């Protein structure tokens, strides 16, 4: 959502101006339009959106990123300068924003009930398996994954093959494509991996689905069957 907003913010001023011109008495539209027509305020919004978009990935992948770095990158700095602001005026704000988010994250993540499962799911990244010690290749330590709790002989055979693929070139890979390519060689393990690598890391998708049903189940569609509703929701979430 943030990336989408970042890429389309250039259209916001004209869009909201037109909306406000059509409804001059709308207080919220008046406030939004006033903000977006102000070059300074619009510039600040653009900078914040870019900051979140640029560094959301780093926050998820490397919790030490901001603790170890005072450099927010040339792309963000150039944008700030381009919008005629001083980068030093923003860096303290960026760091405070990260520290606040990090504090909340640290307080909750260690006690999150699904943390052991997400930690175990790293096993489906071959780089995790082959970059660590031999203990990482012990399937028994991942028994929180229900299929690994009591593995069949065939699954154990495939696991042995998977752990022995040390000679594969593993640079930047897409896990879904990796496991699709292994479907013939490792059919059981591939099916398991393709289920677990798609686990959502938050409840946002579920929450959005409830909002989406307000559109699907409007006054003209109250008699939809469960199958029809399921089909429509699948089309919606897959962008059809």
Q: What is the DSSP letter of 35?
A: H
Please state, in angstroms and rounded to a whole number, the distance separating the CA atoms of residues 202 and 141: 24
The answer for residues whose C-beta is within 8 angstroms of residue 80's C-beta and 6 or more apart is 47, 86, 87, 90
Long-range contacts of 10-19 (CB under 8 A, 24+ apart): 12/36, 12/42, 13/37, 13/42
The 10 Å CB-count burial string (b at 16+, else e) for 23-43 is eeeeeebeebbebbeeeeebb
Per-residue pLDDT at 96: 82
Q: Roughly what angle, to the nearest 10 degrees, separates helices 153-163 and 187-196?
A: 80
Per-residue pLDDT at 240: 55
Per-residue pLDDT at 61: 55
> Half-sphere exposure of residue 141, counting CA atoms within 13 Å on the CB side?
10
Per-residue pLDDT at 205: 67
Please state, in angstroms and rounded to a whole number, the distance separating the CA atoms of residues 4 and 35: 20
Please state, in angstroms and rounded to a whole number, the distance separating the CA atoms of residues 209 and 211: 5
- pTM for this predicted structure: 0.52
The CA distances from residue 12 to 21, 25, 74, 238, in Å, are: 14, 19, 25, 26
Question: Could you tell me the residue ranges of all domains in the chain?
Answer: 2-109, 115-196, 211-237
- Segments in the chain below pLDDT 50: none
């Amino acid at each position: 959502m943030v990336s989408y907003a970042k890429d389309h913010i250039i259209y916001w001023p004209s869009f909201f101006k037109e909306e406000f011109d059509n409804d001059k008495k709308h207080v919220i539209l008046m406030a939004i339009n006033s903000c977006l027509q102000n070059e300074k305020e619009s510039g600040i919004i653009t900078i914040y959106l870019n900051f979140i978009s640029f560094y959301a990935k780093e926050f998820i992948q490397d919790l030490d990123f901001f603790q170890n770095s005072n450099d927010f990158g040339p792309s963000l700095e150039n944008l700030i300068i381009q919008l005629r602001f001083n980068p030093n005026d923003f860096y303290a704000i960026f760091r405070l924003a990260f520290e606040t988010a990090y504090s909340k994250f640290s307080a909750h993540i260690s006690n999150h009930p699904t943390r052991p499962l997400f930690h175990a799911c790293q096993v489906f990244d071959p780089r995790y398996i082959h970059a660590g010690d031999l203990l990482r290749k012990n399937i028994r330590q991942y028994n929180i994954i229900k299929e690994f709790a009591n593995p069949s002989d065939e699954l154990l055979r495939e696991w042995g093959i998977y752990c022995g693929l040390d000679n594969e070139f593993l640079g930047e890979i897409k896990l879904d494509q990796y496991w699709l390519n292994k479907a013939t060689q490792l059919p059981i393990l591939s099916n398991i991996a393709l289920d677990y690598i798609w686990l959502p890391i938050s409840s946002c998708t579920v929450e959005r689905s409830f909002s989406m049903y307000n559109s699907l189940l409007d006054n003209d569609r109250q008699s939809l069957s469960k199958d029809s509703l399921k089909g429509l929701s699948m089309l919606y979430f897959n962008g059809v």
